[in-house]
Amino acid sequence: MTTLVRVLIADELSPRAIDIFRSRGVEVDVQTGLAKPGLLKIIAGYDGLAIRSTTRADKDVIAAGSRLKVIGRAGIGVDNIDIPSATARGIVVMNTPFGNSITTAEHAIALLFAAARQIAAADASTQAGKWEKNRFMGVELYAKNLGLIGCGNIGALVAERALALKMKVLAYDPFLSAERAVKLGVEKVELEDLLARADAISLHAPITDKTRNILSAEAIARTRRGVIIVNAARGGLVDEVALRAALDAGHVGAAGFDVFATEPATQSPLFGAPNFIATPHLGASTNEAQENVALQVAEQMSDFLLTGAVANALNMASISAQEAPRLRPFVDLIDKLGTFAGQIADDGLEAIEIEYEGEVARLNTRPLTATALAALIRPLMPDVNMVSAPVVLKEHGTPLTESRRDSSPTYESLIRIKVMTGGRWRGLAGIVSAGIAKIVEVKDVALEADFRPVMLLINNLDKPGFIGALGTLLGAANINIATFHLGRQAVGEDAIAIVGVDQDVPDAIQQKLRALPHVRYVKVLKFPG
């Protein structure tokens, strides 16, 4: 007897998406507007959950979904899904990352026009019967410099539209290659240059530790007087208090925001500011975009539930049932190697090389490479997944080289990842030993180390006293050393220490480590479970 496959649609989706499920033989129930208790009561009866941004698939919902196999988000943002909990339960989380790109780009341009010509204030004044023709003096966008902070998929679409308006486009993006910039017709610049030259700034970056408040009070102070600032990307990219002060002072000429640090934004430091325009996160709110993402999520979820095919998954690589047993340990290894390499790419990713040696080179390495790229990019773009990572890399023009060797000099199988960052190559290699991922090489220095949740990577000159000084410093800070592995090129030359610790290492302790004699580089590495 065939078990019926059932999907719960908990947020509004297009009727055509419902038709897709049913035409594929999937039973669908539509129950929108459920409060959490109601969702907890029924979720155990479903194999799939389709949502937008309203329904929260938190750890309680996931725990109650005893049959759940997949959660599909019609859209890109997955802040409302507890991905670690889903992963722990073996539930695939998928989104539709590219279905609303054009709509979001158009909204950014709309905000730019509205801010430049004071459309909202002029509309309110005119409809109030004031006819204040001389009050609203706008600025032309023609021949002005538009600075893009982030030039991925959506940023590139904004650039294309700005160039059609005869604007000059400056782009700051650590992933953007010189070749890709030329192809897009934009000038690749550093952030300082962009701040100094832009007449208008539009943000198109993800929210990460590196991008949070990227337009801080100090950054805003370095912009041109009268600059227009548009944010249709993520709340938290701009210091809202600092921007309000700059609007009040007239340093920032106008601003248009679709996203806010806290949403729903029922109040904000920006509300009521002069020449400020706000919309309630409408970037993806067009009929076309909503239709696209709804149809995509229905197709993806149906494919997975009926055939096992995986697309746009955020927590697993695309691996067939036949390949899974052999690939699984190497997926774990390359995910950890990519996470390691992404954290030491301090100056952006300029090029990537992945080498497969031995038996692993004869396997299907495509999901391995996708896993590595997602792990590499994730420190800068948390929303990236194993499917979208190669697309993101291609969009930014970052060169990727893969090589395979049928044999390895020392091991049955070895994977090596190299990244060019700041004009320098940094590399590491790893193996699977007794089913466990291990590091066997860092910066051409041989050593063997297990991965730990928190690790210290230290590059120093091989001189007496370093190990003692390191242990003393960590001990004084009450940081326990769990594992300690050393390697060196030669006596007195470069040495590498990988130290597994049981506690996080505060910035102040890292600074003390960097101040130790002969220490060249210190990095705290973290490997989430």
| Dihedral Cα 120, 122, 125, 131, nearest 10 deg | -160
DSSP 20: H
Is residue 16 a contact partner of residue 291, using CB atoms and an 8 Å limit? yes
Q: Which two tokens stand for residue 389?
A: 């990572």
Q: Report the phi/psi class of residue 308: left, alpha or beta, with left for phi > 0 and alpha for psi in -120 to 50.
A: left
E runs forming strands in 235-333: 252-257, 276-278
Is residue 276 a contact partner of residue 247, using CB atoms and an 8 Å limit? yes
Sheet with 351-358, edge to edge strand ranges: 400-405, 351-358, 413-421, 424-433, 436-442, 445-450
Q: Which of 52, 73, 224, 234 is an active site residue? A: 234
Q: Which of 132, 190, 192, 263 is an active site residue? A: 263
Cβ-in-10-Å burial (0-12, 13-18, 19+) of 129 comes to: exposed
To which H or E segment does residue 393 belong? helix 388-395
Q: Which two tokens stand for residue 346?
A: 């301090």
Length of the chain as a residue count: 529
Q: Which two tokens stand for residue 258?
A: 């679709």
DSSP 57: B
User: Could you tell me which of 410, 481, 420 has the C-alpha nearest to residue 446?
Assistant: 410
Is residue 168 a contact partner of residue 144, using CB atoms and an 8 Å limit? yes
Residue 281 annotated as catalytic: yes
Q: Which of 281, 378, 396, 426 is an active site residue? A: 281
The structure tokens 């990842």 sit at 417
Residue 518 annotated as catalytic: no
Residue 117 annotated as catalytic: no
Q: Catalytic residues, which ones?
A: 234, 263, 281
